[in-house]
Amino acid sequence: MLIRIHLQSSILLPSNLSTFSPSLPPPLRYPPSLLQFCIQPRTSAPIASARRERRVETLEDIKEAEVVSEEEEDGEEGEDLEADEFSYPNAFRGKEGEKDYDRDPEFAEILGSCVDDPQKAQARVEERIRKKRSKILHAKTGSAKPMKVVFNKFDFSNSFIWFEFYNVPLPKDIKLICDTIRSWYIIGRLGGCNSMNMQLSQAPLENKRPSYDAIYGANVTPTTFYNIGDLEIQDNLARIWVDIGTAETLLLDVLINALVNISSDFVGIKQLVFGGLEYENWKENLTSEDAGCSTHKI
């Protein structure tokens, strides 16, 4: 306890000094206001901080301020530890974080075991990838080699289109080819591939807002895909008869572009031949009942 005594002009001395012994100093009298501020106990920094916030007048207030300051310090340290341990807002935190993984509880369980057993969590992730590989990875099943396109005396009114695959196509591959040809035929039948009316694709690139002349589009000579046959397959060969009618090369470009992507991504097509009545290894006398032979309606 540190006691500091300040002497000011307000100190009152006795008027008759003769009544006191010369060997003893005269008694001093201090006003209550001076004694209240002269005797000041030494306090710690937390207490001083608490006293700045509120006035401390009694010993009970000092003890209460010490308890409050210690609780505040413990709370701040706990918050700092929690912030450092889980610095990411979406971190898995038991019951609080489970709601983020309601749709995939398996993944939540894997994340929860990462800290305790990382090797087990890694094995679970690998197993999960193997099970759901078809939904995660879509590997290309086509050919990396470009599809070769050949024209052999092609007649727009009466010709075959020949397909040569690298392997015998699977049922899903045949369905994809049939759907593509069917879509191509419908667009052509409706006159969607008319190179005489390409107003937007042939417009200057400087035009920020394209315009379409409806009168010009209505007066252009229409092009119609007249007729198409069935898709015939013999092992790794296929053919289809077409009657395009007018010599509209845009229709051929549309088909070739679609088959190029099918060949690289799904089923490899070695060669696409336009025209010709015969093709190597193709047998005219085979029917759909023979092995490796089938016919599919377009």
pLDDT band at 292 (very low <50, low <70, confident <90, very high): confident
Over residues 115-142, mean pLDDT: 77
pLDDT of res. 129: 77
pLDDT band at residue 128 using 50, 70 and 90 as cut-offs = confident
pLDDT of residue 30: 52
**pLDDT at site 162:** 98
At 75 the pLDDT is 56
Is 80 exceeded by the pLDDT of residue 180?
yes
Domain spans in the chain, listed from the N-terminal domain onward: 17-81, 88-136, 148-194+219-279+286-296
13 has pLDDT over 70 = no
Is 280 exposed, middle or buried (CB count within 10 Å of its CB: 0-12, 13-18, 19+)? exposed
Q: What is the DSSP string of 200-264?
A: TTTS-TT-SS----HHHHHHSPP----EE--EEEETTEEEEEEE--S--HHHHHHHHHHHHHHHH
Average pLDDT score over residue span 2-28: 48
> Rounded to the nearest 5°, which phi and psi values hold at 101?
-125, 30
Percent of the chain with pLDDT strictly greater than 90: 41
Mean pLDDT value across residues 13-31: 50
Give strand pairing partners of 295: 232
Is the torsion defined by CA of 233, 239, 241, 244 positive or negative? positive
- The answer to whether domain 148-194+219-279+286-296 has CATH 3.30.70 is yes
pLDDT surpasses 90 at 34: no
Give the pLDDT score at 111: 75
Average pLDDT over residues 113-141: 76
To the question of pTM greater than 0.85 for the whole model, the response is no
**Count of Cβ atoms closer than 10 Å to residue 107 Cβ:** 15
Lowest mean pLDDT among 54-58, 176-180, 263-267: 54-58
H or E segment and range at residue 182: helix 171-189
pLDDT (tens digit per residue) in 198-234: 999 888 877 788 899 999 999 999 888 999 999 999 9
User: For 80-110, what is each residue's pLDDT tens digit?
Assistant: 544 444 444 444 444 554 445 456 777 777 7
Average confidence (pLDDT) over 111-135: 78
Band of the pLDDT at 50, cuts 50, 70, 90? very low
**Band (166; pLDDT cuts 50, 70, 90):** very high
